Structure 1
C-alpha cells in the first residue's frame, strides 16, 4: 500500500501549474465554443496560486483547507468556485481519515468532492460537467491501493467519460442555451480535468511532452 501526504500534493500542484504553459491556449479555445473562452486562463491563475502556497510538512487536512481558501480568493468563476468547494469538502473529509492518507482512500475523497460540487452547483450527475468526470474517476479507482494503477485508471476514465457524453447536450451553464450545438462539443471542464490528469501522469516520464487527451479537441489542437 502507498500513502499520500501534503508534500505529495504540493508536487502534484506544481506539475499541474507547469502544464498550463501548454494547456492554457487549447483549453481557452475549447471553452470559446460554449462559454467565455477563459477556462485555460482561469486555471492557469488558480493553479499558480495554489502551487505558490507552501503546504509541505503540515497535515493533509490542513493543507487542503489552506488551498481551499486560496482558491476561493483567486477566482470568482463557476469552475473555480466548484474547485474551491471540492477542496473544502476534502479538507473536512481528511480530518476523519488517517494521515498519511492511504492510496485506497483516494476514491472516498473524490466522492466527497463530487457531492460538494453537486450541492453547490445545483446540478446532477449526467448533466455533462466536470462532476461527471470526477464521479467516473472515483468509480475507476475504487479499491486500488497502488499509485501506478490509480494513475492509469484515472487517466483512462477521464478520457473515456468525455467520449461517453459526446452526442449529449450540456444541461447546465451557458452551454445549456445551445443544446443542439453542445451535443457535438466536449464540456471544457471535463476536457480540462482529463488534460491535467494526463499532464501530471506524463510529468514522471523523462522526455515526454505534456499533451491534451486524445479525442477531446479538434484536430488543430492535437
Structure 2
C-alpha cells in the first residue's frame, strides 16, 4: 500500500481533531510543572497544519505543513514539530507516494531532527521518546492495521516505561523528584493523537 499527500492531509485533520478534544486535559497535565499551555499550543498548531492542502508531492506537502506550524506558535514544542515536518519533507523529496514500509524511516528522520534541534537525548522523558518507540515498533509492519496497533501500543508503553523517571529537559527538570510522579504532557499528547488516528485505521 502507498501513502500519498492526500493521505497525509487526512491524517493531519484527525490529529487536529484529537488535539482540540484534549486541549484542557493537556493544559492541566502541563500546569503541574510547566506553563499550562501545551494543549492550547498543540491545538492551535495542528489546526493550522490541518488547513494545508495536498501539494504535488510529499516533500512539498510536508514543507507547507511545516510553514503553517511555524507560523502558528513560537513555543519550543511547536518549533520541534515544525522542524520535524521539514525533515520529513526532505526525506520524502519529490515522491508522489511512498510505501507503508518506509514509515519507520520517515519517523526516525523526524526523531533525529528533533533531538538535534532540541539538544536533547533519548531518555530525557519527552515526546521524542514516544516518537522513537513508535518508529521502532512499525519497522516490520506492512498494513495499516498492523501499523495502527503497533503504534498505539508503543506510545502507551513509552508512557508506562518512563513513569517513575525524572524529566531532564524543560521547566520540569527543575523539580526532578516531582516530575518522577508525572507523565510528560508531550508523550501524553502523542499517545492520544496516535490512538485517535490508529482507531480509525484499525
Q: TM-score, normalised by structure 2?
A: 0.96
Which of 61, 64, 84 in structure 2 is aligned with 1:63? 61
SS in 2 for 1:126: coil
Listed as ranges, the gaps of 5+ residues in structure 2 are none
1:173 is displaced (CA, Å) by: 0.5
Which of 95, 98, 101 in structure 1 is aligned with 2:98? 101
> Match for residue 11 of structure 1?
10
Aligned CA-pair RMSD: 1.3
CA distance in 1, matches of 2:37, 2:200: 24
CA distance in 1, matches of 2:144, 2:60: 22
Which of 184, 188, 196 in structure 2 is aligned with 1:187? 184
CA distance in 2, matches of 1:19, 1:140: 22
Listed as ranges, the gaps of 5+ residues in structure 1 are 206-222
What are the residue-to-residue correspondences of 1:36-185 with 2, within 5 Å? 36-55=35-54, 58-95=56-93, 98-185=95-182
1:145 is displaced (CA, Å) by: 1.7
1:21 is displaced (CA, Å) by: 3.5
1:19 is displaced (CA, Å) by: 2.2
Where in structure 1 do 4 or more consecutive aligned residues deviate above 3 Å? none
CA distance in 2, matches of 1:135, 1:20: 20
1:127 is displaced (CA, Å) by: 0.5
Q: If each structure's helix is expressed as a fraction of its own residues, which one has the higher value? A: 2
Residues 15 and 203, structure 1, Cα contact 8 Å, conserved in 2: no
SS in 2 for 1:158: helix
More displaced 10-residue stretch of structure 1: 117-126 or 196-205: 196-205
Which of 148, 172, 197 in structure 2 is aligned with 1:200? 197
